[in-house]
Amino acid sequence: MILIVVKWKVKPEHAEAWPELTRAFTEATRAEPGNRFFEWSRSVENPHEYVLLEAFDDDAAGPHVQSEHFKQAQADLPQYVLETPDIRNWQDQPDEWHKLGEFEV
């Protein structure tokens, strides 16, 4: 599994609308074969920053970036952000979640 984290710094005037601006891209990506999850969160420290956590089967990230909805997002989304998003990715991640033992409930 490939795990990807992307930080998007959205222009202040578009921060409230960001979930709607990315809705079509988000829904299309979630429907892709091999997509494990594609989840947006808003920073509690910077209300203009969104963090995207996404995961794909090892062989699914390539088709994702070649998809029509990805290409459309490349054309549409830059006008709403302050700068090129920051990204981190990790390959060969296990396909499982673990409980946080240090905060066991």
CATH at 55 = 3.30.70.100
Gap between the Cα atoms of 62 and 32, Å rounded: 12
In a domain, 101, yes or no: no
In a domain, 103, yes or no: no
In a domain, 33, yes or no: yes
Q: What pLDDT, on a 0 to 100 scale, did the predictor assign at position 74?
A: 96
pLDDT band at 97 (very low <50, low <70, confident <90, very high): confident
Gap between the Cα atoms of 9 and 38, Å rounded: 18
Render pLDDT for 50-94 as a digit per residue (tens, 0 to 9). 999 999 998 877 788 889 999 999 999 999 999 999 999 998 888
pLDDT band at 7 (very low <50, low <70, confident <90, very high): very high
**Under the phi-then-psi rule, with left for phi > 0, alpha for psi from -120 to 50, and beta for the rest, what region is 20?**
alpha
Q: What pLDDT, on a 0 to 100 scale, did the predictor assign at position 15?
A: 98
In a domain, 31, yes or no: yes
Residue 22 belongs to domain spanning: 2-94
Of 75, 70, 77, 84, whose CA–CA distance to 7 is shortest?
84
What are residue 97's phi and psi, to 5 degrees? -105, 150
According to DSSP, the β-strands at 86-90 and 49-56 are unpaired
Q: How many domains does the chain have?
A: 1
Q: What pLDDT, on a 0 to 100 scale, did the predictor assign at position 18?
A: 98
Q: What pLDDT, on a 0 to 100 scale, did the predictor assign at position 60?
A: 75
In a domain, 105, yes or no: no
Render pLDDT for 8-61 as a digit per residue (tens, 0 to 9). 999 999 999 999 999 999 999 999 999 999 999 999 999 999 999 999 998 877
